[in-house]
């Protein structure tokens, strides 16, 4: 999440209240903003919903020790530096955790000069790592703008990577609000036509007479108001890509004209006799079942097969629940910046509500809900109070056994590892470096996933 300028923040984790209070007081004098957690479970929950520059954590704690908490934090925020505090009797455990990616460790009683130096180094390291991560993410976004690493989205992105470099006509199917236009953009931006125009037409937004002129252009005097010749979207998209959204809303007469252009690669302007050659790749999208529309005689079978050279199905958000947290974070940062809001995090209660809601309007509904929440936000955190009422009403459904919470954390770690492997094209050494774990640890985790 992109946050506004703020004090460098440190999460202090220790089950000794007196020691925790002493550390927070000292860090405040050094100019840090501190947040307290009294055990590993509380620390993991805090990292899930808030931004921190570093974590200072004791190893020996009652409910969840520092080593297990570190591994779970690492799965959520791999670039976040964790400094461990340990007694001499547990130095060996601390060193082992350092080898697995922890930033540093300090022995008790603490040397405060060394603590201050360790924190400064950790925060500097995090800022550099965050900038590098942001650049990598921006590169990915320029190529796809598609957010999500759930299995259905991973399959979709893999298909896009196969289809985009070809000249195949593509039919993108999916419910309203799932992001079909983003898929079309990704196909264009990863094709040989990426430096040529990408032209979009919403076929449902125009009457048939206007749609014909919009697509094919018209000659001067072709109809009342046609004072000059106008080139249509097909000509504007020449050598590029034309995206025909809501293709299922076109009339049978328009379907005949579209079929001719797809077959002959030529058209005639409205009111004209001249044949115009065009070189255009067609990507069409619909939220209808076109196969059923063909059977009901509402859509031409020959056009359906001409469009359906490759079909890409965009999954509804309810089938990609693991992506909700990532989408929420992205939209929260986007609209906080747009509306000049100082956003420091999202409360755990708010995130739970958002992940529980079924999202009948898909990603578009989620984006609108987050934008509303940011605008109505009180303070510096996004809370459930600023969400739309239908989402707030999910609160009574959020009673979740502790076992399910553990499964959720495990799944989050698994998806992060698989996403990182995908970004490194399966290079395990590079993936383990990015994740901040040893290659052996990565292999052990992958073997565990294969056994499930």
Ordered by where they begin, the domains of the chain are: 9-142 (3.40.50.2300), 151-317 (3.40.50.300), 320-397 (1.10.8.60), 402-451 (1.10.10.60)
List the chain pLDDT tens, one digit each, 452 residues.
333 334 688 999 998 888 888 998 888 888 888 999 999 999 999 998 888 889 999 988 888 888 899 989 988 888 888 998 887 656 666 677 677 778 888 888 888 888 888 888 788 766 655 555 554 554 444 366 888 888 899 899 989 998 999 999 999 999 999 999 999 999 999 999 999 999 999 999 988 888 999 999 888 887 877 778 889 999 999 999 999 999 999 999 999 999 999 999 999 898 888 899 999 999 999 999 999 999 999 999 999 999 998 999 999 999 998 899 889 988 988 899 899 988 888 888 888 889 889 999 999 999 999 999 999 999 888 999 999 988 988 776 655 444 444 444 456 667 777 877 877 777 887 776 666 566 777 777 787 766 65
pLDDT at 412: 60
The bridge status of strand 266-268 relative to strand 275-277 is: antiparallel
pLDDT at 5: 39
- pTM score, two decimals? 0.59
Count Cβ atoms below 10 Å from residue 361 Cβ, excluding itself.
17
Largest CA distance in the chain: 91
pLDDT at 78: 82
**Nearest-CA neighbor of 54 among 100, 7, 114, 2?**
7
CB 186 within 8 A of CB 170: no
**Nearest-CA neighbor of 181 among 325, 321, 290, 287?**
287
Give me the phi and psi of 206, to 5 degrees please: -125, 145
The Cα 414–Cα 410 span in angstroms is: 6
* Cβ contacts of 372-378, under 8 Å, gap ≥ 24: 373/332, 374/332, 374/335, 374/336, 374/339, 374/341, 374/343, 375/335, 375/339, 375/341, 377/341, 377/343
């Amino acid at each position: 999440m992109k946050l506004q300028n703020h004090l460098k923040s440190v999460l202090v984790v220790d089950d000794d209240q007196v020691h925790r209070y002493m550390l927070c007081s000292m860090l405040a004098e050094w100019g840090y903003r501190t947040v307290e957690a009294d055990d590993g479970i509380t620390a993991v929950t805090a990292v899930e919903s808030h931004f921190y520059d570093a974590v200072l954590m004791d190893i020996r704690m009652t409910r969840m020790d520092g080593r297990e908490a570190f591994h779970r934090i690492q799965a959520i925020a791999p670039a976040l530096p964790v400094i461990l505090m340990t007694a001499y009797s547990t130095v060996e455990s601390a060193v082992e955790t350092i080898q697995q990616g922890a930033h540093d460790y300090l022995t008790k009683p603490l040397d405060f000069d060394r603590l201050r130096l360790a924190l400064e180094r950790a925060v500097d390291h995090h800022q550099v790592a965050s900038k590098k991560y942001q650049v990598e993410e921006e590169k990915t976004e320029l190529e796809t703008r598609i957010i999500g690493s759930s299995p259905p989205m991973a399959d979709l992105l893999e298909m896009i990577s196969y289809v985009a470099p070809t000249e195949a006509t593509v039919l993108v199917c999916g419910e309203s609000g799932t992001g079909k236009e983003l898929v079309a953009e990704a196909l264009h931006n990863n094709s040989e036509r990426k430096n040529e125009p990408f032209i979009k037409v919403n076929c449902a937004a125009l009457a048939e007479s206007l749609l014909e002129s919009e697509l094919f252009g018209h000659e001067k005097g072709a109809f009342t108001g046609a004072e000059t010749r106008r080139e249509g979207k097909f000509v504007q998209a020449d050598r590029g890509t034309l995206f025909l959204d809501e293709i299922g809303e076109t009339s049978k007469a328009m379907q005949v004209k579209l079929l001719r252009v797809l077959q002959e690669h030529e058209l005639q302007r409205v009111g004209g006799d001249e044949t115009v050659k065009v070189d255009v790749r067609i990507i069409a999208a619909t939220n209808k079942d076109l196969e059923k529309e063909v059977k009901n005689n509402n859509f031409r079978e020959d056009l359906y097969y001409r469009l359906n050279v490759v079909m890409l199905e965009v999954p509804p958000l309810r089938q990609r629940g693991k992506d909700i947290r990532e989408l929420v974070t992205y939209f929260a940062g986007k609209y906080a910046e747009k509306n000049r809001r100082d956003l420091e995090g999202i409360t755990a209660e708010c995130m739970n509500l958002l992940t529980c809601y079924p999202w009948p309007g898909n990603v578009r509904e989620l984006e609108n809900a987050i934008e509303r929440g940011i605008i109505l936000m009180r303070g510096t955190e996004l809370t459930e109070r600023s969400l739309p009422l239908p989402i707030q009403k999910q609160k009574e459904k959020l009673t979740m056994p502790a076992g399910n919470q553990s499964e959720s954390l495990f799944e989050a770690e698994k998806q992060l590892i698989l996403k990182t492997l995908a970004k490194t094209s399966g290079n395990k050494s590079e993936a383990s470096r990015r994740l901040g774990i040893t290659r052996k640890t990565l292999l052990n985790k992958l073997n565990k996933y294969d056994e499930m």
